[in-house]
Amino acid sequence: MHADKQDFKYMELTEEIVRIFYRVYNKLGYGFPEKVYENVI
């Protein structure tokens, strides 16, 4: 099922969270405990 952007109630917030996720992921990579990721930003 394809969802239009208008279907999401908090689209701007969701986009920002995803951007931050990828910024952290690209900096650290994967496989660390959650606490390591929490301390990045």
What local confidence, expressed as pLDDT, does residue 13 receive?
92
**Residues near 30 by beta carbon (within 8 Å), at least 6 away in sequence:** none
> Three-state secondary structure along the chain?
CCCCHHHCCCHHHHHHHHHHHHHHHHHHCCCCCHHHHHCCC
What local confidence, expressed as pLDDT, does residue 1 receive?
44
Q: Residues 1-41: pLDDT tens digits?
A: 455 556 667 888 989 999 988 888 888 777 777 787 777 76
Cα(37)–Cα(20) distance, integer angstroms:
11
